[in-house]
Structure 1
Amino acid sequence: MVTLDIRYTGQKNCELIHQPSGAVLHTDAPKDNQGKGESFSPTDLLAASLISCMITTMAIKAEPQGFNLKGCFGKVIKEMSSDPRKVRQLTIEIHLPKNITAEQKTYLENIAHGCPVKLSLAPEVITSTTFIYDL
């Protein structure tokens, strides 16, 4: 169990504190929803949480198998719906080492699709993931 403290600081901004480490993040409402867009929005963090969870979970499982994912990277594109306002689709692209075998690719992709954040998303959130083996 992890505790996070959140404080509304005004003007559509929140401060988030990770109790175990003291790390601090800030959120701001997006420009299209009364904010300034000066930091991550809460739904941006959802999108970032998904791809970082996918990559982290793959690394956790890959390292004991003897292959290193250091340097892999990706991006996520978040699309919103308006009524109700919510995340509609997350399009993910992850770049991985090209020397990974076909068996390892299947293993890693299954791990990514089974990461805790992905399993926590509502079924109506569309996710599309492309794995590119080019590093």
Structure 2
Amino acid sequence: MEPILLTDREEYQFVTDRGFCPLLDYKRFTMDIRLRVEIQRELFGYCVFGRGNIPQANERFFRWIWEHKPHQCEETLRPLSSYSAVYCSHILTRGSRPEMAHDPRNINILCFEMHNRWENGDRKNMRIYPGNVKVIELLKKEYQILKL
């Protein structure tokens, strides 16, 4: 089944009012990248280096992620008991892709050990790696449109 394309605010509001989360659910919904970025900036703040209050925007973003994703490590599937920003692991780092820093699709919920492994270890042998490769391709393709 092809994902439903959301092109404007009314469509976005329609699906969110019915309990869907199109910012996260990229398998069921696709969004025009300009609409996505606009909504992300409204929800979390402007996060490109040198603009806005980045620590506050990050905190809003990480809390939103915690509220909208299951509280378990995506690698080990073990439950995580309480909120910590450390559990929010960027697939593509904020340093390399600041324009994607507050895109919910760019986050895995990982325990501290698996977060470190993703950042510094052998990613290719992680269970989440194949899915993350697909997310990376999707993010790069969509954000490239903004540069045209």
Q: TM-score, normalised by structure 1?
A: 0.32
The structure with more helix, counted as a fraction of residues? 2
| Bigger fraction of residues in strand | 1
Question: What TM-score comes out, normalization by structure 2 length?
Answer: 0.30
